[in-house]
């Protein structure tokens, strides 16, 4: 059995998989609030319980650059080392890869009902793909086409400089530079924190009304959930405008990534936010910003744009990676062995 993990800044998502007929077979999964634990090892032990001895390999998608199997997380006081995890957990093969890399491997495991096509583009184009995922942070990745298949590569492009495109965004940049006392990355705008950053800007700088009932809800509930709910239901002007600015910035940075990667094979939108705002993504705001690239707009218009609906995409990718790498090292492939069995 394979242990797969998606380690985020706020939660750790673990799952167990094996193979049937050459395809990944889901067994069970669980989410854990990361702040309640001292480290990943503690969570894994709690999750596995009596099934610990059945694990042949494990892979964890982690936020940030992995160097020589080691990573220090930015949003958690944890340092992860694949060799230490392997020894302490008693699992022979343990791998750490970037979380967007895990999502990239997951794309190949998805079925058509787990993807929503926002724009068909030119579906006959074959080449590199781009992957962008807004959640707690902003992840970006590259799927390089080598003539036979796509190989995922990680990126930290979400931390590149925020590029405003109109007067509202220019003033938003000024507001955020004061708030954070320095440079502003795209992650400050296109991520979970982006919702509240944009909302606060519209209230404090643009003077949009925040009714008392809304202020109370924002204080008592998850602000991002409140903004999304009221915006999609058209029950709050400031929330609607917040979501509009967020989705437009999301589309613009997606287009920037697509240009840099030259992703003629398409753009995939992952992460936890996209499925929750799918109706807004459909209204043209995202696509207009995505394709608004001047003389190169037609290049973007020809690129397919797809939304990943499956919340376990990163787990699927981590499981697929664990099996493939462990098979390379051991010469034993559970995926191949399951075909015809």
The highest-level CATH class for domain 2-106+312-338 is alpha beta
Domain boundaries, the chain: 2-106+312-338, 112-309
Q: Given a cut of 70, is residue 276 above it in pLDDT?
A: yes
Query: What's the pLDDT tens digit per position in 89-117?
Result: 999 999 999 999 999 999 999 999 999 99
Specify which of 75-79, 182-186, 337-341 reaches the highest per-range mean pLDDT. Answer: 182-186
* pLDDT (tens digit per residue) in 310-319: 999 999 999 9
| pLDDT of 335 | 81
Span 251-274, pLDDT tens digits:
999 999 999 999 999 999 999 999
Q: How confident is the model at residue 161 (pLDDT cuts 50, 70, 90)?
A: very high
**Which CATH entry fits the domain spanning 112-309: 3.40.50.170, 3.40.367.20, 2.60.40.180, 2.60.40.10?**
3.40.367.20
- pLDDT at 341 (0 to 100): 53
Q: Tell me, what's the pLDDT at 340?
A: 62
Q: Do domains 2-106+312-338 and 112-309 have the same CATH topology?
A: no
Average pLDDT of the residues in 323-327: 90
Nearest to 172 by CA among 134, 148, 198: 198
Q: Which of 30-44, 51-65, 142-156 has the lowest mean pLDDT?
A: 51-65
- For the segment 45-61, the average pLDDT, to the nearest whole number, is 90
Query: What digits encode the pLDDT tens for the residues 132-160?
Result: 999 988 999 999 999 999 999 989 999 99
pLDDT averaged over every residue in the chain: 94
């Amino acid at each position: 059995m394979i242990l797969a993990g998606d380690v985020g800044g706020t939660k750790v998502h673990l799952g167990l998989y094996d193979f049937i007929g050459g395809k990944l077979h889901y067994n069970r999964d669980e989410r854990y609030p990361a702040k309640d634990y001292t480290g990943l090892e503690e969570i894994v032990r709690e999750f596995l319980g009596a099934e610990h001895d059945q694990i042949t390999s494990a892979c964890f998608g982690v936020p940030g650059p992995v160097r020589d199997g080691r990573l220090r997380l930015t949003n958690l006081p944890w340092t992860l080392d694949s060799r230490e995890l392997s020894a302490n957990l008693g699992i022979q093969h343990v791998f750490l890869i970037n979380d967007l890399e895990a999502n990239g491997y997951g794309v190949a495991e998805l079925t058509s009902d787990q993807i929503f096509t926002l724009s068909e583009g030119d579906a006959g184009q074959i080449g590199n793909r781009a992957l962008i995922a807004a959640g707690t942070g902003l992840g970006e990745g590259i799927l390089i086409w080598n003539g036979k298949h796509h190989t995922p590569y990680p990126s930290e492009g979400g931390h590149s400089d925020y590029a405003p495109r109109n007067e509202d965004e220019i003033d938003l940049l000024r507001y955020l530079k004061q708030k954070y006392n320095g440079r502003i990355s795209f992650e400050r705008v296109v991520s979970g924190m982006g919702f509240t950053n944009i909302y606060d800007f519209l209230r404090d700088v643009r003077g949009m009304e925040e009714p008392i009932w809304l202020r109370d809800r924002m204080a008592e509930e998850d602000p991002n959930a409140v903004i999304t709910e009221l915006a999609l239901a058209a029950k709050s002007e400031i929330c609607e405008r917040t979501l509009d600015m967020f989705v437009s910035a999301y589309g613009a940075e997606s287009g920037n990534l697509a240009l840099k990667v030259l992703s003629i094979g398409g753009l995939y939108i992952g992460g936890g936010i996209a499925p929750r705002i799918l109706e807004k993504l459909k209204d043209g705001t995202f696509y207009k910003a995505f394709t608004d690239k001047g003389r190169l707009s037609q290049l973007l218009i020809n690129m397919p744009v797809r939304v990943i609906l499956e919340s376990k995409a990163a787990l699927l990718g981590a499981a697929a990676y664990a099996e493939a790498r462990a098979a390379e090292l051991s010469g034993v492939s559970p995926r191949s062995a399951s075909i015809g069995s």
